[in-house]
Structure 1
Amino acid sequence: MITNLRGLLLAGAIGLAAAAPAAAQQTFYVAGYGGSFEQTMRKEVIPSFEARHNVRVEYVAGNSTDTLAKLQAQRANQQIDVAFMDDGPMYMAIQLGFCAPISSLPADDIVPAARFPGDRAVGVGIVGTGLMYNTQYFRERGWAPPTSWNDLADSKYRGLIVIPPINNTYGLHTLVMFARMAGGGEANIEPGFKAMKERVNPNVLAYEPSPGKMTELFQSGQAALAVWGTGRVASFAATGFPVDFVYPKEGTVTLLAAICPIAKANATPLAQEFVRAVVQPDLQALLAREYGYGPVNRRAPVDPAAMPMAPVGERAAKLINVDWDVINQNRDAWTRRWNREVER
């Protein structure tokens, strides 16, 4: 299958002529997630793209809010050519005019939930935000696996929990879920802050945004329970470490990993080609296998039985969506409050 993927990327850009051997090599900037996602890009996608188009790809790793901040800082002279971001920051990027329309998107093959307004971005994978736990740690202590978001408030896990901060989508989802469970929600976030401060915070070892640090905290035995995404957990489990993902009974929150070509005066046509390539069936199947994404392309050849954590099949029905219109109007204020009251 990887051979087919390489063949796809080497087959040529839609509407582009082959690069002349003597052409000067340009630099193509991709901003995206770090950790295992970055490794997959560097190993399976970037080399073929570089070879086909005679470009040097610079991968700029960072979480979604970091990438959005870079786009804002470079507004007058954008360096980034394409950007991967979570759905919330991606909606903001579109509203701020950073994303160009995608041309020749295979629209009929893309699930509707993965398409953004005006096709200015497209999903590359569906992730579920839920709970990760160390199965060996739990087994040795005779603990039953977690089943609920409320397990984060159980005092027996004091000092064993890791949650990404609110500038990371996983942390934001946690806040929204606790608000919803207490009768509030996106439009009434107060119950979420109350629960985080009074019930969850005493159990938290760290509010950690780095995927590498998250895995280190588990590998060292300091952490045993965390909020994370299906893709991250599947990649961690693939290393042989004893972790599993839990779809909480109150619901697992949808996180759509997405990509957009950056709008700028000197935009290269390769940005469009790169975006189209990552939603093709073979690459979608690769991301499903290597990273645990639920594919956004209906024609991606995946076996749900071989993807025990990914939101595919019946598991996809357990996903719930948040209201990004409301969240993005309030996110800056929530972040300031989180830093002042929760993560202090």
Structure 2
Amino acid sequence: MQRRTFLKAASATAVGAACAPYVHAQAKKFAGITLRVNGFGGVFDETLKKCVAEPLKEQYDLNVQFTAGPEQDDVIKLIANKNNPPFDMFLGDSPYMVLLVNAGTIEEIRASDVPNIKRILPGFREFGDYGAPFSFASSVPVYNSKYIKEPLTSYSDIARPDLKARAVMQAPSTFGMLLAAVAIAEENGGSVSNMEPAFKVMEAAKPNIVALADTTVAELQMLQNEEACAGIFWDGRAHELRTKGVPIVAVAPPKGIYSLTTYINVVKGTKYPEAARACVDQFLSDQGVLGLTQALRFGATTDINLPEGLRKDLLFNTPERNASKRTVDWQAMMANRSAWIERLNKIFRS
């Protein structure tokens, strides 16, 4: 071997030997750390474990622990224990983000700390630098094409006379119902500041509603068992019904689609902010975003290039459809939530 070649090889070996411990240390810099995260349970949490927790464990030896519970209860728990937070990170849907931000319980997340923040599509960060949106579900009109021959085209169609005793909606206390009410109000010239148009449509729809489902599962079962053949439901759940052989059509109303986004947050006061930011970056990676999109057909919030077969199953699958996602004033919804629930209960119970 020539001397120059030998010196190059020796230098490379020396550099490699010197770098190896550093690289290993960097890869395992979060070893022994466990991030506590609230969870939603079921397929949702199992998917996050596979697409977020397992890759972080492999890359950094970082543990991510999801604990399922009612989101509202976990929000209250976090706000009540701001000085000693029970979570390091928090999964929060759009309405609850209002409470988390107002209570000062979560940190801002910037692209300088989390590179994948730059990949979020325009319009999905509804709360400035707070929260990283990684998934969203849309509440849309649905119908069983086996029984409903005239397609539904709008949220307000829930009041069509031909749907008498044939429709199901979520209960007034759910965000599925409140989101539908906002959609109906805005379709009819109203707004979150003027919900009267929505209440009038709900009055007209009352003879059509055979049940107000307290849970998503209850509504799914009614549609699957053909106890109802129309309603307003989540797009991903409508896909689930189609996989079970129920010919449920999810409608994209031309005046816009109303959605609820799920955010991952870094809790203020966590002992592990750097590890938490690495976790946020994994949520927004292709692997993280693709998980729930594949499992539940929830919408993707980043510039991920989705497989064509999967794209066909999604409600939001073109730039034009993406542009139809309506902005919701979540602050106003949360401020008026109790009054809206009371009014809707009065309508359906009278």
User: What TM-score, normalized by structure 1, do the two folds share?
Assistant: 0.79
* Structure 1 segments unaligned to the other structure (5+ residues): 1-11
**Aligned partner of residue 170 in structure 2, secondary structure:** coil
* Partner in structure 2 of residue 161 of structure 1: 167
User: What TM-score, normalized by structure 2, do the two folds share?
Assistant: 0.78
The yes-or-no answer on 1:29 pairing with 2:36 is yes
- State how 1:234-253 maps to structure 2 within 5 Å: 234-253=239-258
Q: Look up the equivalent residue of 1:232 and give its one-letter code.
A: R
* Partner in structure 2 of residue 121 of structure 1: 131
Aligned mates of 2:243, 2:288 — CA distance in 1: 19
Check the 8 A contact 2:139/2:176 in 1, yes or no: yes
* Partner in structure 2 of residue 319 of structure 1: 325
CA drift at 1:265: 4.9
The yes-or-no answer on 1:184 pairing with 2:194 is no
Spell out structure 1 runs of 4+ moving beyond 6 A: none
Worse-superposed segment, 91-100 or 74-83: 74-83
The yes-or-no answer on 1:291 pairing with 2:302 is no
Aligned CA distance change for structure 1 residues 19 and 251 (closer, same or farther; 3 Å): closer
Aligned mates of 1:277, 1:209 — CA distance in 2: 33
**Aligned partner of residue 75 in structure 2, secondary structure:** helix
Cα distance per residue 1:193-245 (max 9 Å; x no partner):
2322x112332222224222222222222122121222332244334443221
Match of 1:86 among 90, 93, 114: 93
Aligned mates of 2:312, 2:74 — CA distance in 1: 29
Aligned CA distance change for structure 1 residues 155 and 87 (closer, same or farther; 3 Å): same
Q: Look up the equivalent residue of 1:62 and give its one-letter code.
A: P
CA drift at 1:113: 1.6
* Partner in structure 2 of residue 6 of structure 1: none
Check the 8 A contact 2:143/2:248 in 1, yes or no: yes
**Aligned partner of residue 139 in structure 2, secondary structure:** strand
Q: Look up the equivalent residue of 1:68 and give its one-letter code.
A: V
Worse-superposed segment, 219-228 or 74-83: 74-83
Of the two, which has the highest radius of gyration? 2
* Partner in structure 1 of residue 179 of structure 2: 173
Aligned mates of 1:136, 1:130 — CA distance in 2: 18
Corresponding residue pairs, total: 323
CA drift at 1:186: 0.9
Aligned mates of 1:300, 1:97 — CA distance in 2: 35
* Partner in structure 2 of residue 40 of structure 1: 47
Aligned mates of 1:121, 1:325 — CA distance in 2: 15
* Partner in structure 1 of residue 76 of structure 2: 69
The yes-or-no answer on 1:333 pairing with 2:323 is no
Aligned mates of 1:159, 1:85 — CA distance in 2: 35
* Structure 2 segments unaligned to the other structure (5+ residues): 1-22
Cα distance per residue 1:260-299 (max 9 Å; x no partner):
1222354564432322211112322333333223322214
* Partner in structure 1 of residue 234 of structure 2: 229
**Aligned partner of residue 288 in structure 1, secondary structure:** helix
